[in-house]
Structure 1
Amino acid sequence: MYKIGSKKLINGWAFYDWANSVYSLVISTAVFPLYYDAVTDKSVVQFLGIDWEHPDSLYSYSLSFSFLVVALMSPVLSGIADYTGSKKKFMKFFCWMGSLSVMSLYFFDGLDTVWVGIVFTILASIGFWSSLVFYNAFLPEVAHPEQQDRASARGFIYGYIGSVILLIINLVMIQFPDVFGITTGMASRISFVMVGLWWLGFAQITFKRLPDDIYNRKPDADYIWKGYIELRKVLKELAGYPSLSKFLLSFFFLSVGVQTIILMAAIFGSSELGLGKMNLIVTILLVQIVAIVGAFIFSRLSERYGNISALKITLGIWTLVCFCAFLLDKNQENVAVYFYGLGGLLGLVQGAIQSLTRSTYSKLLPETEDHATYFSFYDVTEKIAIVLGTFVYGFLYSKTDSMQWSVLCLALFFLASFIVLSTLKKTKYVQ
């Protein structure tokens, strides 16, 4: 068993980002959405006995449903995991569930099997996001507070590098299927299997190094009820820590903006600016590559100037991204170049803000053995923010017939996060 703070333990923990980030890039962002659009293009899709004239809505609803399931389920399961000392077992279960579900997307090969794509999209999303709850909860158990900024950043850096490598391999297959003796559709389906195998295979390195039940919990037979009691206890404790509560509120506001932009950026580029698929894929790759640099730079800035100051800088840049996106117009000359520039600016702070919020929350936690339960509230905050953000974005788009006003509105959430963050009292490890 590796000691807390050891290089091998931190690297082993961070390597789960290398394993799972291929899901968020290849499945959530790049290959699967394009494949889904190609299969269902201008078609009426049947699912649950309903004719869906707009298949994109069905896909959007399926993701929303998966977020709702995770938001409702993770706090209770986290309470059970903390009470029984079984975070690692839960993390393994959801990793297997997610990776096998991703591989099952291989069997989505036409309109007759859209149900396969939808069902396993939901299960893969639940597996991915649920495993992250328990993964994040290990951070205070693998790194000391003064190490957590770098450890968190290392995870995101690993994730961006690994996901870019696999995405490039997948794109080569999809762009040149004849070289491999397959069709474009088959290349995409093989990519889904590769994502699942990559995720599951590399995760074994993490599972081998993470500790088991470091607090030696010995649960009673009624562990489900005791897990629920554990959840209620942490909820009451949370109200007694104003800095932690304020940070969650700030995290909620910034997540509305961050997650909505990440989810809607490709649609904004396609529908609002009229950019082609290759333009969007190039932008996605650019964001991932620049995010590696951003996560590294801001982890060092946080060490020198403090987490709060570093987060404020990222919030300022996110606000600037919103204003720049608002000013873009598809009739502008070289609009694709401007979009690439915006992608680079976004990439600079995407990895940074995700890394810093995780480590800052971990540093603000009280002395506790209930890390999974505390991090479940962090996760639920993010999921509720996604639901609100996508609703606000869609509502404004329906009222104004322009996504630019939707993007501009997101700047208000970054401003609100900045204001709340400014009220946060400094602590020993959060300056």
Structure 2
Amino acid sequence: MTVAEIRDTKRERRGWYLYDWANSPFYSSVTTVFGALYMSSVAAVQAKSDITRNGDTPCADPAGVENKLQNCDVSLFGLHFPAGSVWGYLLSVATVVQVLVLPIAGAVADRSRHKRRILGGFAVLGAVATALMFFMAGGNWQLGAALFIVANIGYGASLVIYYSFLVDIAGPDERDAVSARGWAFGYLGGGLALALQLTFYLGRDALGVSQGTAVRICFLTSGIWWLLFTIPVVRALPRTQVPVAVERGLSVLTAGFAELRKTVAAAKAYPLTLAFLGSYLVFTDGITTVVSVSAQYGKDELKFSDEVLIVTVLVIQFVAYAGGTLHGLVARRFGAKRTILGSLALWILVIGSAYFVQAGRPLQFYAVAIGIGLVLGGTNALSRSLFSQMIPAGKDAQYYSLYVVGEKGTSWLGPLVFAGVGQATGSFRLAIVALVVFFVLGLVFVWLVPVRRAIEAAGNRPPAVL
């Protein structure tokens, strides 16, 4: 009998749901909207300063009216690159750093009696770094870049440990509903925070606040939101856990490194678990890409205004709350695997319909956004809970570190396909449709995985409905 089956977990579950709510503004506001909006402009100020100091005008346009600062070079550690590329490179570096750090964080967490303290520590690290991005002003983009990387470490590591608590607070038959509810609350929290911040940002002139200052305040409030809502999370989660035994003479950190090597080697003994993980990595790359390029598709291909794109982002966030809740209810009746397969089929229909959206018809674009929102949260939430069933006992954080690292490590392929098809065909319509291949392959791969056998092979009891 598991800990979740012999303990009243209502309070712990409420706290667990709340962490999705707490950290979501970092992704929805800082990473998706305001970081991309502000980082390159700060780097451009640095580029202008360098040009003025050196007496050069390599970025001046033919008429000499203004500098094309986004194309001007900035430098870091002897490397030179255009200011407009800073955000893209920063996202790549942050991903690489997470790939190096997260497996160690997971291994250490599984070997500690105080996993919730580790979660709280990483959450505070991420929240404080996010809030300190408020001080990224003028041309000091390097400070913002360093803080963003630190915030990403806190965000990713806390998610690894947060995911692993699912096994502690929910039995096999309850995890789909619990995971879906947490994901739904995350989108609701992220949507609410983003709506408040966008209201402030769009009304900044009436308040006498400059654009840069408004963005920096949004960074600050995102960090404060994350920090404040993490406090009740840490108080509510299980106080202690029974850790995997650490070899005599080894510290928890040293044992974490040693266990990481063992986990990677031992994972080969669970090929069906790895098969499901591989299937997830295929379709989640498609999901991440659709979310990240939807604004570009709306702006460059369909010629929508920024106001339409902002409304679209909010529509997706709030509809995803209903979609996540709905997926939990459907999974209770039909099982997680069948629900994921149905959700992937809907993804194929939604992305296919995006091809037919006409320029200047925002209602059609909103309809696609509603479709994305309905399947967005639920697909990932049920994948998270189904994967938890396939993890060997005591290895939860370690396997979830592989889960998150794999997700980060493959997140470059979808954008590459989108950009490559767009460049080759000259049409983002064909590029968006090309992403359907990720969902088709994901559907086929998930269908082929015998999840009941995978769960039993990991030594766990399968839920009654799969």
Provide the TM-score with structure 1 as the length reference. 0.92
Name the amino acid aligned to 2:159: L
The answer to whether 1:78 aligns with 2:85 is no
Partner of 1:149: 176
Partner of 2:236: 209
- How far the C-alpha of 1:118 sits from its partner, in A, is 2.2
Name the amino acid aligned to 2:118: F
The answer to whether 1:344 aligns with 2:388 is no
- How far the C-alpha of 1:95 sits from its partner, in A, is 1.2
Change (3 A) 1:14 1:248: same
1:21 to 10, 21, 24: 24
Identity of aligned residues (%): 30
Partner of 1:88: 116
Does the CA-based 8 Å contact 1:85-1:217 persist in structure 2? no
Compare 37-46 and 402-411 and name the one that shifted more: 37-46
Partner of 2:397: 372
2:219 to 175, 192, 200: 192
Does the CA-based 8 Å contact 1:5-1:143 persist in structure 2? no
Change (3 A) 1:5 1:231: farther
Larger Rg: 2
Partner of 2:288: 259
Q: How does 1:37-56 map to 2 (within 5 A)?
A: 39=42, 42-43=68-69, 44=72, 46-48=74-76, 49-53=78-82, 55-56=83-84
The SS at the match of 1:47 is strand
CA distance in 2, matches of 1:402, 1:108: 36
CA distance in 2, matches of 1:146, 1:248: 20
Name the amino acid aligned to 2:424: K
CA distance in 2, matches of 1:274, 1:56: 21
Name the amino acid aligned to 1:259: T
Compare 63-72 and 234-243 and name the one that shifted more: 234-243
CA distance in 2, matches of 1:236, 1:7: 36
- How far the C-alpha of 1:140 sits from its partner, in A, is 0.3
Aligned length: 425
The answer to whether 1:362 aligns with 2:375 is no
- How far the C-alpha of 1:350 sits from its partner, in A, is 0.5
Does the CA-based 8 Å contact 1:84-1:218 persist in structure 2? no
Q: Deviations over 1:255-303 (max 9, x none)?
A: 1101111222212222222222111110000001111111111111111
Q: CA RMSD in A?
A: 2.2
Q: How does 1:384-399 map to 2 (within 5 A)?
A: 384-399=409-424
- How far the C-alpha of 1:233 sits from its partner, in A, is 3.0
5+ unaligned residues in a row in structure 1: which ranges? none
CA distance in 1, matches of 2:150, 2:315: 29
Q: Deviations over 1:286-336 (max 9, x none)?
A: 0011111111111111110111110011111111222222334xxx35432
Partner of 1:30: 33
5+ unaligned residues in a row in structure 2: which ranges? 45-67, 453-461
Provide the TM-score with structure 2 as the length reference. 0.85
The answer to whether 1:402 aligns with 2:430 is no
Name the amino acid aligned to 2:13: I
Name the amino acid aligned to 2:234: F
Partner of 1:240: 269
Does the CA-based 8 Å contact 2:40-2:86 persist in structure 1? no
CA distance in 1, matches of 2:187, 2:287: 17
